[in-house]
Structure 1
Amino acid sequence: MRGRQLTQTQASARRRLPRWLSGLLGLLCILVGAFLVLKPFSSLAMLVLVIVVGLVLTGLGELSDDDPPGGRRLAVARGVVYLLAAVVVLVWPGATIRVLSVVVGIALVVGGVLDVVGARRLSGTTRWNALVSGIASVVFGLLALAWPDVTTLVIAVVFGAKVVILGVRLLVDAVRRTRKGDLEAALAHDESPKGGWWRLLGSVGALAAALVLILVSLTFQRGVPTADAFYDAPQSVPAQPGKLLKSEPFTRKIPDGAMTWRILYTTTRDEGQPAVASALVVAPKAAATTPSPVIAWAHGTTGAVPGCAPTVLDDPFETGAMFIEDKVIQKGWVMVATDYVGLGTEGPHPYLIGQGEGRSVLDAMRAARQLSGVRLTDQNVVWGHSQGGGAALWTGVLAPTYAPELKIAGVAALAPASNLIGLVENLHNVKGGSLFAAYVIDAYSRIYPDVRFDDYVRPGARTVIREMATRCLSEPGVMVSVISSLLVGPQIWSQDPGTGPLGKRLQDNTPPAKIQAPLLLGQGAADSLVVPTAQAAYVKSLCAAGQQVDYRTYAGRDHVPLVQADSPLAPELLDWTDQRLAGAAPKNTCP
């Protein structure tokens, strides 16, 4: 019996790759896997190449493994699966990250199933290792197929790590055979139990990571905000803009002494088509009998898809950077805060597309005047921050022609998205700037036929950027976008966004110097998103065109801190608004 075992072992040793080739294969696996983990998205072509090489090396590694879980037949089957996957990626026309995720995902699922099947023939730690590692591989593969953002992480980390582990195993085996000699190593290896506790520990760690990803996915899905039936448009949307469709009391986190409604009303898209938007109307209780002036609030960025409306989110005020709603009520003013089109209601949302945002603001003011239970004067002051600052500027531009019946006593634009080309070109220097870039290119490519998403976003970043555009800034899943943006890198553009059709459309949406109402423009001197130099250039262009503007800067204030309750801007904004409602002459800081 011993002689027979020796003969079988000698035959097994002769079937192995030469130890130098096994060691070289292991080293290549380690290098390729490490590249996938550390630098996967430098370019799509490089990613395709590395994935193909990784699949080939994994297939060859399975075929040459002298200690495969489940035996040689299953090892051959796994090797063939990975080699076929490499062929599919090579011959697939126009391979994308999504294609890669499908191929890698299927390969991981099939390889994992083969591991689980092979576990029935094993015993001890080897059986548990094959079973646990197989389940982990299946879970990771399903995640790659089902969760696009995690797809990139699976390709970069999971598959890369799998290739590294296989390489280490091959390299260690080659070193052991070098030290002991091929036959002696084979005999020693054959007499010892296969698998081992260290390998099992690694498999358990992989399964734990897979289960954590599942739990994270479920948590993120539960945290996705969704709009309820209130935001559904009627079957036939009235063509008249500013028509109140419905209203209901709103009680979530409203200021003391206020009565609040959420409203649904009609507005107009850029193509002249009727649309539906939502808003909050927040009024002091005295406004039920005493007419009150209106503060039209245009909120900052909350996202770009239905569900991201402030009226849907947990905090309807702070999520859009409104921190002094209590002061508005104490002043006896009524705040009308639009959600814009496409955040609570059906999209697309005109993110940084000025006329669409400006009309949403004006039509909210119109609709609020049809609300029973509150009385309003004919005076309106518009406030807006960031995205909403740009919307406020466009509200002032559009009011005389789009809603001439509304008296706009003043426009306050706070850190506004004004110089759009300068803003977008600077996003790669901003922490988390890829999120805002995703909102921009998604909105512009959906609304403008001449702006093509694929013309501006580099191939390796497209899947990640499309997924980013579907997330609200306040939802837990945005952390996946942040992690993905770190892998993709800060520069997502394949060409300068300030050129071509996108550049022209950004220029078209830069608010022109046609605001007849008194204008206050506030800017934080430490703003890293809307940079002061770009804002100063915009103000200079307004002055050169004859626009009067009261331009104020605030030392040490970044983008959001500019409008927080403790900012020196807050009391100045309230005082400036008092002066506008009183009809005082505005200040002009233009030379």
Structure 2
Amino acid sequence: MTGLDARARAAGLGGGARRWTLLVGSLVAVPVGAVLALRPFVSLAVLVVGVAVGLVVLGVVRLVTGRPAADGATADVVPSRWWWLAGVAYLAAALVVVLWPGPTIRVLAVAVGAVLVLDGVLDVLAAQRASGSGRAGALLSGATSLLLGALALAWPDVTVLVVAVLVGVSVLFAGLRGVAAAVRGRGPHRPTRWERRARPGARRVAGEVAALVVTLALVAVGIGIDRGTHQPDDFYAAPADVPDEPGRLLRSEPFASTEVPADATAWRILYTTTREDGTPTVASGLVVAPRAATGADARPADVVAWAHGTTGVTPGCAPSVLPDGLAAGAMFVLDDVLAQGWALVATDYAGLGTDGPHAYLVGRAAAYDVLDAVRAAHELDDVALSDRNVAWGHSQGGGAALWTGIVGPQYAPDVELLGVAALAPASNPSALLAHLPEVSVGALFAAYLAQGYATTYPDVRLDEVVRPGARVIVQEMAQRCLAERGVVVSALTALLLDQPVWEHADPYTGAFGERLDQNVPSGPIPAPLLVAQGTADSIVVASSQDEYVDERCSAGYAVDHRSYAGLDHVALVEADSPLVPDLLAWTHERFAGEPPADSCP
């Protein structure tokens, strides 16, 4: 971290209490740094204690090695008080962690960043009076500290991962260097085989180079994450005067994408809709129509209202914002839809293109978004749409499609719904939540669910649902879209978590549990219903879907339930899935008015 070898010699660490203090402190730093860097997510208490201990060790090392050389070699460049200031700064940061644990993660990122920058500046200044390998080591060490500090201050998404990794790496490197400096400060000794084969200065420089390489890798990751983040443009901003009536088209413009075939026309739309609590809001979406449905001789196209799968829960995660956004929402068969002469109306859901919050796995809100997108699409001047509609949805969108069938007759009786196709639908949020610990990145979906419910329902509080050590993690995960590069950080975090994010072993109690139960689409669906499920689905498990279908059958509702052997969650709706021809044929039957099949006994 900072030219400890030169400082150790300057401080007279050839023997005595100072050398032993450095050695003991550095030996403590090595395991503490390793734990922080590799296992930072066990609990907030462990993180706070580890960070505090690490900062104390760093501070002690600075103070012990902070005395300038007796001949004033370093004093001319870096006064003694500045070395002491670095040590005191680390100790002050540790005090902040202990006395102010509430906002520790965010505050600590700034505190650590500032201290690392100061440390790096001191190393660079010290290098001016050093020579040979000493100068190279100090410069490399200073560059490492400056980059780590800048990363802590400027990382585009300050998270517990950043704090833990930066502090852990800093403490680990300081410990290793301190041990080496203390050992070399013992005075003459018989050289080892390695010491006879390599100069100590070269080894020190090699260590500094390794530290710098690791730091540059972290910087590259940060830059990549920043560049991979997508933000909605001005199109998605609500106008000053928005009508209360749902389903009104507010804005539209042509939409160009590699996903839109050359013989089709697309628009992105902004329209009015309704939140879960009944208040008006705005949402965005896409309309894609075959060329035959546009122009002077347009033939009205039947409509497939598409409810997309999970893309995230924050503005920027809308399919109309993301590159390849339809595929991100699991729409892989747009060509097939258009080839049938149908138009696709795909809501983004409120809060993914437009301002949030996004009501993730909140059924009624999603259904309103689907139905109002169809209404708004009919107000486009450049496309002819028929009054016949079929709703498709996958995963999150499958649940939205089920709810569209339930609330449509009352909320939007003007939208004629001829069928509902729910593909691997999230039909039971409680069952989905219970299975998430078995999913490798289940914590990411748990974060979406916790954030979505906490921002939608006033009686669901994040700090009552999520354990303290995971609250910042959950909030930061919720800021990343599944299709952006930063989700890699979420995935790594999810893999490193040693326990679920929930405050209680049974998260289905209280207001959160009640709201989960309320979002099971258990009401009547007058339109013909298709439920399709892959038997190898690792997210929405087939047994849970079977239970949902059995409950509907027991309630006297008709269901066309189809299972597809060996297909996982996304594979079910990919272009080569055996579901696709079945789904197209089923949709043709709905538009033709043929009687639906019923799998219920």
- Whether 1:208 aligns to 2:213 is yes
Structure 2 contact 48–101 (Cα < 8 Å) conserved: no
Q: Which residue of 2 aligns with 1:361?
A: 370
- In structure 2, do the counterparts of structure 1 residues 198 and 153 end up closer, same or farther at CA, with 3 Å as the change threshold? farther
Distance 2:20 2:396 in 1: 61
**In structure 2, which of residues 243, 246, 257 is the aligned counterpart of residue 238 of structure 1?**
243
Q: Which residue of 2 aligns with 1:280?
A: 286
- In structure 2, do the counterparts of structure 1 residues 67 and 202 end up closer, same or farther at CA, with 3 Å as the change threshold? farther
- In structure 2, do the counterparts of structure 1 residues 151 and 207 end up closer, same or farther at CA, with 3 Å as the change threshold? farther
Q: Which residue of 2 aligns with 1:140?
A: 148
Q: Report 1:251-270 matches (<5 A).
A: 251-252=256-257, 253-270=259-276
Distance 1:353 1:259 in 2: 31
Distance 1:298 1:68 in 2: 68
Structure 1 contact 44–96 (Cα < 8 Å) conserved: no
- Whether 1:435 aligns to 2:441 is no
Q: Which residue of 1 aligns with 2:476?
A: 467
Structure 2 length-normalised TM = 0.89
Unpaired stretches in structure 2, ≥5 consecutive residues: 1-8
Structure 1 contact 89–103 (Cα < 8 Å) conserved: no
CA shift, 1:400, in A, is: 0.8
Identity percentage over the alignment? Answer: 52
Letter in structure 2 aligned against 1:80: V
For residues 467-514 of structure 1, give each alpha carbon's deviation from its aligned partner in whole angstroms, at most 9, with x where no partner exists: 221122111222222223333346222223322221111111111232
- Whether 1:349 aligns to 2:354 is no
Matched residue SS, 1:266: strand
Distance 2:316 2:141 in 1: 38
Distance 1:556 1:335 in 2: 29
Q: Which residue of 2 aligns with 1:105?
A: 113
Letter in structure 2 aligned against 1:162: S
CA shift, 1:343, in A, is: 1.4
- In structure 2, do the counterparts of structure 1 residues 431 and 311 end up closer, same or farther at CA, with 3 Å as the change threshold? same
Structure 1 contact 143–150 (Cα < 8 Å) conserved: no
Matched residue SS, 1:317: helix
CA shift, 1:18, in A, is: 6.8
**In structure 2, which of residues 496, 514, 526 is the aligned counterpart of residue 516 of structure 1?**
526
Letter in structure 2 aligned against 1:47: L
CA shift, 1:543, in A, is: 1.8
Distance 2:265 2:100 in 1: 60
Q: Report 1:145-544 matches (<5 A).
A: 145-147=153-155, 149=157, 151-173=159-181, 175=183, 180=188, 196-252=201-257, 253-288=259-294, 289-489=298-498, 491-495=500-504, 496-544=506-554
Matched residue SS, 1:377: strand
**In structure 2, which of residues 594, 597, 600 is the aligned counterpart of residue 584 of structure 1?**
594
Distance 1:494 1:11 in 2: 49
CA shift, 1:409, in A, is: 0.8
Distance 2:447 2:573 in 1: 24
Distance 2:101 2:499 in 1: 28
Q: Which residue of 2 aligns with 1:26?
A: 26
CA shift, 1:196, in A, is: 2.2
Matched residue SS, 2:250: strand
Structure 1 contact 140–154 (Cα < 8 Å) conserved: no
Structure 1 contact 112–138 (Cα < 8 Å) conserved: yes
CA shift, 1:241, in A, is: 0.8
- In structure 2, do the counterparts of structure 1 residues 272 and 153 end up closer, same or farther at CA, with 3 Å as the change threshold? closer
- In structure 2, do the counterparts of structure 1 residues 22 and 409 end up closer, same or farther at CA, with 3 Å as the change threshold? same
- In structure 2, do the counterparts of structure 1 residues 505 and 195 end up closer, same or farther at CA, with 3 Å as the change threshold? farther
For residues 407-442 of structure 1, give each alpha carbon's deviation from its aligned partner in whole angstroms, at most 9, with x where no partner exists: 211100000011101112222221222222222111
Letter in structure 1 aligned against 2:292: A
Letter in structure 2 aligned against 1:285: R
Q: Which residue of 1 aligns with 2:47?
A: 47
CA shift, 1:16, in A, is: 3.5
Distance 2:429 2:10 in 1: 72
Distance 2:210 2:177 in 1: 17
CA shift, 1:131, in A, is: 2.8
Q: Which runs of 4+ in 1 moved over 6 A?
A: 66-69
Distance 1:298 1:228 in 2: 22
Q: Which residue of 2 aligns with 1:4?
A: none
Distance 1:302 1:126 in 2: 51
Letter in structure 1 aligned against 2:519: N
Structure 2 contact 11–66 (Cα < 8 Å) conserved: no
CA shift, 1:311, in A, is: 1.4
State the Cα RMSD in Å. 2.7
Structure 1 contact 143–151 (Cα < 8 Å) conserved: no
CA shift, 1:150, in A, is: 5.8
Distance 1:145 1:412 in 2: 48
- In structure 2, do the counterparts of structure 1 residues 13 and 372 end up closer, same or farther at CA, with 3 Å as the change threshold? closer
Letter in structure 2 aligned against 1:249: P
CA shift, 1:263, in A, is: 1.9
Distance 1:359 1:450 in 2: 22
Letter in structure 1 aligned against 2:122: L
Distance 1:99 1:230 in 2: 35
- In structure 2, do the counterparts of structure 1 residues 543 and 116 end up closer, same or farther at CA, with 3 Å as the change threshold? same
Letter in structure 2 aligned against 1:524: G
Matched residue SS, 1:481: helix
Shifted more, 152-161 versus 508-517: the winner is 152-161
Shifted more, 521-530 versus 440-449: the winner is 440-449
- In structure 2, do the counterparts of structure 1 residues 20 and 504 end up closer, same or farther at CA, with 3 Å as the change threshold? same
- In structure 2, do the counterparts of structure 1 residues 202 and 169 end up closer, same or farther at CA, with 3 Å as the change threshold? closer
- In structure 2, do the counterparts of structure 1 residues 491 and 566 end up closer, same or farther at CA, with 3 Å as the change threshold? same
**In structure 1, which of residues 553, 557, 560 is the aligned counterpart of residue 563 of structure 2?**
553
- In structure 2, do the counterparts of structure 1 residues 327 and 148 end up closer, same or farther at CA, with 3 Å as the change threshold? closer
Letter in structure 1 aligned against 2:134: T
Structure 1 length-normalised TM = 0.90
